Structure 1
């Protein structure tokens, strides 16, 4: 009996623990209300790639410090204690006048050294001349400039991805609204048809036909909800938003894309692209690498100096007596003159010159490609706007056809099949319209990227 009660209490305790743990795991989401400008600003601060690009600039700053340190004095201290359990013996000939006649051997062992020795010193080196030092320092600063351009490029990519994800959320939200409206409309038609069937004015097949249409519309709503959730999760990933946050978009598609802005994009000339800055900086780095390899043929001059104190003793207690310690110092200048390295420097110089030719070719190609990209993006946007206008007109016509078919059906001069077909055509036209709308939004972002104006207006 006691064991049964104990078992019951254990189950209750574990149940309470699991409920408490579940309550801690399931936390209410915090809603973050954002418009497009705020969304982009948040992404530039919290997106993983954007944060890493900023950290890379900090890395380049440490590279400059490292290169600068090579030209500054290098000071090192040394301290050491040695213990010789067996001091090395040196053999001397057993000959007059220092020989030992009592020693029958022809050599005399002599111990040169003590059991304990110690030293402490300071070493100083200073570069006087090294042609590669200044080239390396300039290259480090140029590399920092490249990381800054890389940061701009990463931010442009982040803005592009966030905009496309943001528009995807808005379009999928519109899909849900249209699907809900369609479901409400078809439900109303289904109830009317059921009532007419019960009254004997319609056949059972008419009810079934509308029921099939209702099921298709409900499935479309579910797909729209799923697509909306996925697009929102994609946007959260692009933003670097924590899992316990939800997003509430405070703008509509009409507010974000006024017709005058789209018209202005189609006549705008391209701005300077950061990709060209990146390529030119890589070109400069390769030129500096060529200078660096060329400077390796020049001699280097270095100053070295040291100061040391050495001491010794036969026992550890006498090792640190001041009378057993002596000083020494040295100042010197050394020159290193390259003579022959197996032509490795020559090979590196030749490689640099070939790389410069490659980068010049890439620069020419990039300039041509940017112009083509702008032209293609403008054409795509114009085509998508034409398609959007056609789909908008088709949707209005499909709505008109449905309204007329519904009126005719209610007045008894139209068939149930006409209403179902008109409803299906209306839903299809709505899907086509939203698809064309999303294509137009993506083309608008692509054109902004091609023109080099993705970041305009974000930090105002």
Structure 2
């Protein structure tokens, strides 16, 4: 296993996992079951579902703008000092004078209903289209979260499998080395070998024990990383059903597919974003159109100089009408909004071209890397088998007195190195397989 990922794993677990508060569980999962569990419990997917629900509510909210709007109002006023105006004295037979007169009453109150109905507004119609496209965008974002979660869980699952395989190889090495060490100690007691021969094997044995302890700790971290990617409590117990031996390695490839970008959710998301930008342009253009709405208002006005008689009489008022708003001059604001919206569409178009080329390159790179990984794994497997055979022959020669202990320790070291190279190649191949499937758009949820 590559220890350079250890730091990344530790950083991931520095994030507080809210699910640690949940009841711990005991689980025994295959890879597919682990992915299905993550689809139900991973917080990123749950948040994406919430975003999708928010988008659905936003669509309904936008539709509501075009539905009748009814508002009620109640108003009460107490004029502590009734307003006074000056009127010509001729009205009261006192020409040439301005006489102060109070107009109004001390108490005034009114209550009524107001109805507004939007009849035509270009921005509203475009907003309806945009809200539905926004809902589509949130659904695709949920799909992307599901795919990313499946990829992360698969890689973490493979990391655990490879760590288990590495631990199995170390255990086999330790059993073999312990037997060699016991045999050498027996030969030393009988005077057939030197103490340095025992010391060399002891050093190898100590190194293997240390390496095994490190792998066990790394395995625990990999299991916890898998739990994290699945949305499972870190305190839960998790074991795996699958094994390295059960994995199928595909060695054949189809002809390079130049249309693989169409299967990628990232490309589909960007296409939807372009649709939103186009609707944005349409919305800015619609601001040059007039808007028309209908309204109605009915109210009852209550007037009196004493509060007790305020409700004795009422004066009704009812109004209906239309309101036409025609934009005339906006200082160029709307014009530049249209220009910027056109530029945003052009940017998105350029991004689509770049993403298309990038995906094609990613597919080519992923397939090439996977092919190389296959060859590397085959080669490292042969090297490991050769190293095992070299060690077997070297031990026979040593036991028969025609070989040296240095040759044995060298063979042991070579075998351990070959096994590490095999483990690294196996891990790289599994991860590259996931990357190739993702690049080709074959991971679909």
TM normalised by structure 1 equals 0.86
Query: Which residue pairs with 1:366 in the alignment?
Result: 355
1:80 to 53, 70, 75: 75
**Conserved in 1, the CA contact under 8 Å of 2:21 and 2:233?**
no
Q: Shift in Å at residue 160 of structure 1?
A: 1.3
Query: Structure 1 residues 171-180 or 431-440, which shifts more?
Result: 171-180
**Conserved in 2, the CA contact under 8 Å of 1:266 and 1:378?**
no
Q: Which deviations, in whole Å up to 9, do the C-alpha atoms of 1:208-264 show, x marking residues without a partner? A: 2112111211111111112111111111111111233221110112323x24xx135
Q: Which deviations, in whole Å up to 9, do the C-alpha atoms of 1:415-456 show, x marking residues without a partner? A: 22222111111111111001000000111011101111113x
**Conserved in 2, the CA contact under 8 Å of 1:308 and 1:329?**
yes
Aligned residues: CA RMSD: 2.4
Structure 2 residue 26 is matched with structure 1 residue 31: yes
Query: Which residue pairs with 2:199 in the alignment?
Result: 208
Q: Shift in Å at residue 409 of structure 1?
A: 2.4
Q: Shift in Å at residue 313 of structure 1?
A: 2.9
Q: Shift in Å at residue 389 of structure 1?
A: 0.3
Distance 2:421 2:27 in 1: 31
Q: Shift in Å at residue 341 of structure 1?
A: 0.6
1:329 to 318, 322, 333: 318
Distance 2:226 2:315 in 1: 73
- Structure-to-structure mapping, 1:38-437, within 5 angstroms: 38-92=33-87, 97=92, 108-256=99-247, 258-259=248-249, 262-267=250-255, 269=257, 270=260, 272-319=263-310, 321=311, 323-437=312-426
Change (3 A) 1:28 1:301: closer
Greater Rg by CA: 1
Q: Shift in Å at residue 316 of structure 1?
A: 3.1
Distance 2:291 2:21 in 1: 67
**Conserved in 2, the CA contact under 8 Å of 1:33 and 1:249?**
yes
Q: Shift in Å at residue 117 of structure 1?
A: 2.2
Query: Which residue pairs with 1:19 in the alignment?
Result: none
Q: Which deviations, in whole Å up to 9, do the C-alpha atoms of 1:249-286 show, x marking residues without a partner? A: 10112323x24xx1355557436222221122112111
Distance 2:390 2:196 in 1: 22
Query: Structure 1 residues 426-435 or 193-202, which shifts more?
Result: 193-202
Change (3 A) 1:413 1:28: farther
User: Alignment partner of 1:393: what SS?
Assistant: helix
**Conserved in 2, the CA contact under 8 Å of 1:27 and 1:244?**
no
Distance 1:53 1:264 in 2: 36
Q: Shift in Å at residue 183 of structure 1?
A: 2.1
* Structure 2 residue ranges without an equivalent (≥5): 1-19
Q: Shift in Å at residue 29 of structure 1?
A: 5.3
**Conserved in 1, the CA contact under 8 Å of 2:274 and 2:348?**
yes
Change (3 A) 1:96 1:154: closer
Q: Shift in Å at residue 168 of structure 1?
A: 0.5
How many residues are aligned here?
423
Distance 1:27 1:379 in 2: 43
Distance 2:118 2:107 in 1: 36
Distance 2:21 2:101 in 1: 85
Query: Which residue pairs with 1:18 in the alignment?
Result: none
Distance 1:419 1:120 in 2: 103
Q: Shift in Å at residue 108 of structure 1?
A: 4.7
Q: Which deviations, in whole Å up to 9, do the C-alpha atoms of 1:15-72 show, x marking residues without a partner? A: xxxxxxxxxx999953211111111111112112111112111111111111111111
User: Alignment partner of 2:233: what SS?
Assistant: coil
Q: Shift in Å at residue 192 of structure 1?
A: 2.4
User: Alignment partner of 1:309: what SS?
Assistant: strand
* Structure 1 residue ranges without an equivalent (≥5): 1-24, 101-105
Q: Which deviations, in whole Å up to 9, do the C-alpha atoms of 1:137-194 show, x marking residues without a partner? A: 0111111111122222222211111111110111011111112222222222222222
Query: Which residue pairs with 2:431 in the alignment?
Result: 442
Change (3 A) 1:212 1:298: same
Distance 2:253 2:63 in 1: 47
Query: Which residue pairs with 2:9 in the alignment?
Result: none
**Conserved in 2, the CA contact under 8 Å of 1:32 and 1:248?**
yes
